[in-house]
Amino acid sequence: MGILYVVGTPIGNLKDITLRALEILKSVDLIACEDTRVTAKLLARYEINKSLLSYHQYSKLQKIDLLISELKNGKNIALVSDAGTPTISDPGDVLVNEAYKNNIKVIIIPGVSACISAISISGFNTNEFVFLGFLPKKKGRETMFKSLQEEKKLIVFYESPFRIKKTLSDILEKLGDKEVFVARELTKIFEEVYRGKVSEIMEKVKEKGEFVVIIKN
């Protein structure tokens, strides 16, 4: 039986990768990734030549079957996503689940995650938080905001540049003028953080790049 390694990769700065992750990426038989072009760029940076198989949670189950049968045949596979920790708002959980069902060993090679990175520099009390991934765009959005009115913990979620202003304005309207922390483009050239009342931040925030939003309760 092979081993399935779940490998964390950078969220921007390609130097944010562990020595162990590089060692594993060099040693496995196959790397299962989201977008082969994104992973190829990372591998090129570290001169790693490896077969890549584009894997997507929503692609046909045959792909999972193929990876599981490779693992059963003794091949070691690394699962990576385009950025950060696989399966955190990213595909891969179905493969990991199938691996356990087939008694295949799963090993984590920990790396960065945008969620944890943002929380750790928010300066808020981080003892307890709820992570929502991406918020619903339409269906369920209203109900979700209603349920958040009762939330006492930090609320953390991912947001896109196309909806950041709308979401901040929804927070103001539905939850009040909360204290927020917005992290944009962490570890990248245009890295920026905003901290303050949501009413102020919605005026300042640039609608470009990738975002993590944290609401203080």
Among 50, 59, 54, 22, smallest CA distance to 37 is for 54
Q: Is 188 in the site for ligand SAM (CB under 6 A)?
A: yes
Torsions phi, psi of 164, nearest 5? Answer: -60, -45
Q: Which is nearer to ligand SAM, 81 or 122 (CB)?
A: 81
Q: Which is nearer to ligand SAM, 75 or 206 (CB)?
A: 206
Give the shortest CB-86-to-ligand SAM separation in angstroms: 7
Among 39, 76, 85, 167, contact with ligand SAM (rule: CB under 6 A): 85
What is the DSSP secondary structure assignment for residue 208, as one 8-state letter? -
Contacts with ligand SAM in 5-24 (CB under 6 A)?
11-12
The helix (H) or strand (E) run that includes residue 168 is helix 164-175
Q: Where are the beta strands (DSSP E) in 12-139?
A: 30-33, 52-54, 77-79, 105-109, 129-134
Torsions phi, psi of 24, nearest 5? Answer: -70, -45
Contacts with ligand SAM in 38-67 (CB under 6 A)?
none
Among 126, 187, 192, 216, contact with ligand SAM (rule: CB under 6 A): 187
Q: How far apart are CA 215 and CA 35, in angstroms?
A: 31
Q: Which is nearer to ligand SAM, 1 or 89 (CB)?
A: 89
Point out the residue whose Cβ comes nearest to ligand SAM: 84
Binding mask 146-165 vs ligand SAM (x if CB under 6 A, - otherwise)? Answer: ------------xxx-----
Among 83, 135, 201, 215, contact with ligand SAM (rule: CB under 6 A): 83
Q: Is 210 in the site for ligand SAM (CB under 6 A)?
A: yes
Q: How far apart are CA 91 and CA 117, in angstroms?
A: 20
Cβ pair 93, 30 in contact under 8 A? no
Count of H helices and E strands in the chain? 8, 10
Size of the site for ligand SAM (CB under 6 A): 23
Residue ranges binding ligand SAM (CB under 6 A): 11-12, 81, 83-85, 88-90, 113-115, 158-160, 183, 185-188, 210-212
